[in-house]
Structure 1
Amino acid sequence: MVCFCFLVDQQRKVRRSKPAAGTCSRCGSGASVADMKTATRFCHVPFYWKSWKAIICTFCGAVLRSYR
């Protein structure tokens, strides 16, 4: 009997952020420029990291624009 179990998740973390001009198009709150880090894990073992910049909303956390 063969059993396949795939448990993959992805976490985003804000490493640094600073205020930016403009507002969020979804909620109308302020925006900030952030250095983001994405970690992809397979069965709780991280196997891929990616760092990128994004403009995010300070209230709802939506990614308004990403620079990869």
Structure 2
Amino acid sequence: MVCFCFLVDQRKEVRRSKPAAGLCSRCGGGASVADVKTATRFCYVPFYWTSWKAVVCTFCGAVLRSYQH
């Protein structure tokens, strides 16, 4: 019997961000609007990318709201 195990993961990278009005509902930290790029990798080789905008907390990093381009 042969068993193959493949590693699939997802990386999120903040391309740029700017301050936004409001506070985080979880920790009370400040908020910022960020352009985020998500890369899904299969055995360390990226094969799918997605870009989107999100309102994130500058202190805890929680995604408070997301928007598709």
> Would you say same fold, with TM above 0.5?
yes
Please state which band the TM-score falls in when normalised by the shorter chain.
Answer: over 0.9
Q: 1:5-38: per-residue Cα shift (whole Å, max 9, x none)?
A: 1200101010010000000000001000000000
Unaligned runs of 5+ in 1: none
Unaligned runs of 5+ in 2: none
Structure 1 position 4 matched with structure 2 position 30: no
- Aligned-pair RMSD on alpha carbons? 0.7
**What TM-score results when the alignment is normalised by the length of structure 1?**
0.96
**What TM-score results when the alignment is normalised by the length of structure 2?**
0.95
Deviation of 1:3 after TM superposition, in Å, equals 1.6
C-alpha separation in 2, matches of 1:46 and 1:2: 26
Count matched residues. Answer: 68
The within-5 A match list for 1:5-44 is 5-44=5-44
Runs of 4+ aligned structure 1 residues displaced above 4 Å come to: none
Deviation of 1:4 after TM superposition, in Å, equals 1.5
Q: Quick one: percent identity of the two aligned structures? A: 84
